[in-house]
Amino acid sequence: MTTDVKHTVVLDVMGADSGIAEILKGGLDAARKLGSDVHIIFVGHKQEIENILSEQNENFKNVSIENADDVIPMHMAATDGVRMRNSSVAVGLKLLNQKKADAFISPGNTGAVMASSLLTLGRIEGVSRPAITAMFPTSASKPTVVLDVGANADCKSHHISQFAVMGSVYASVVLKKEFPRVGLISIGEERSKGNELIFRAQEQLKKSQINFIGNIEGRDILSGAVDVAVTDGFTGNIILKFAESIKPMLVKKVQRQIQTNMFSRIGAMLLLPFLKRMRKTFDYAESGGAPLLGVNGIVVICHGSSNAKAITNAIVVAFEMAEKKIIKRIHDELITNHFGQNNGANSKSENNRDRVVCPSPTDD
């Protein structure tokens, strides 16, 4: 490992549906891409990792291995996964908590990663609840940041207003937008439409210093009308799962049309470059993973079937988040916009006592 390393990223290589070799390939591709600026720590079964690395023709000086004896299965409940103290998730997060790394990435059990992150890292001061963040493709030049997409099924208005602040900071980093446009997902653009949660969140967002443009509808996400779309985790997860169904549906539709006659096949050949670009637009691998914003450390959750490209992009995103000091920026923005108001904690110590999540009376 060189002395001029900017950031260290921990990669959990165990537990993914795509297999350890594919995850390692993504890690090594990122090591090549970022060079001496990054140090990547592979966490998992040491012997198995060494066997795969020995097959490489290159000598990577910016990677190392940290052994973890256990693997959290995908089907295991989050509460059971948290109890596995020697799992690759637990070992990797411990390195992050001990400041031996700047970011942690895992394509393993999402629930276990999220719960373990909360217990190990705690929350950023001022954060009531963390949120899972996803990038949605749009008809515009840049994607839309959507959160929460699954961490919190039930939310209060101050949770949503905090999601908006965290999403705005994240968009400013990944989309390089100085004042990201933030919209609140509702059943209509009019301020009079929505439920009690939406009405209360509206009032809080209007008082904040982010660039809140008001309510948006579901169709505005893919149109690129906003840079950040915010909602509760229940609604967000439904939108995410629906969005994931668009690509396979379009592929099947196109394939059926191509097979109808010879003219369709010729037309498809002419449109092949366009069709490849369209397929890339809906490829989850382009965004890499979903950051868990709000925990006191950079954590990126990847799809269980992530390929090497997705892992590489996730590492690049995590590296950029560390480079831009996103944890500090979220902390500072929340203090500016929310701290001392409805942040889900009556005091700093209650919000994040001993770096372990401690629910407060207003966070039930």
Task: Note the pLDDT tens digit of each residue in 285-314.
Answer: 566 789 999 999 999 999 888 899 999 999
Interval 341-362 mean pLDDT: 36
Q: Regarding predicted confidence, which is higher, 45 or 287?
A: 45
Between the alpha carbon of residue 320 and those of residues 117, 229, 283, 312, 316, the distances in Å are 20, 22, 21, 12, 6
Across the strands, what pairs with 211?
A: 181
Residue among 110, 65, 129 at smallest CA distance from 91: 65
CA–CA distance, 330 with 171 (Å, rounded to integer): 11
- 359 vs 114: which has the higher pLDDT: 114
Mean pLDDT of all residues in 319-342: 81
User: What does residue 101 show for φ and ψ, rounded to 5 degrees?
Assistant: -150, 165
DSSP character at residue 138: -
Q: Of 361 and 183, which is predicted with more confidence?
A: 183
Q: What is the mean pLDDT of the chain?
A: 85
Using the structure block, give the residue that is written with the tokens 């948006």. 216
Place of tokens 């001496």: 36
Strand partners, 228: 145, 182
| CA distances for 340 relative to 125, 205, 347, angstroms | 11, 15, 8
Please provide residue 222's backbone torsions phi and psi, each rounded to the nearest 5 degrees.
-80, -15
**What local confidence, expressed as pLDDT, does residue 340 receive?**
45
- Give the pLDDT mean for 347-363: 34
3-class SS of residue 85: coil
pLDDT band at 329 (very low <50, low <70, confident <90, very high): very high
Percent of the chain with pLDDT over 90: 59
To the nearest 10°, report the CA torsion of 126, 131, 134, 140. -50
Taking residues 11-26, what's their average pLDDT? 92
**198-233 confidence digits (pLDDT tens):** 999 999 998 888 999 999 999 999 899 999 999 999
Q: Report pLDDT digits (tens) over 224-265.
A: 999 999 999 999 999 988 888 877 787 777 777 777 777 777
Nearest one of 112, 98, 18 to 70, comparing CA atoms: 112
Contact status, residue 152 vs residue 357, Cβ threshold 8 Å:
no
pLDDT score for 336: 77
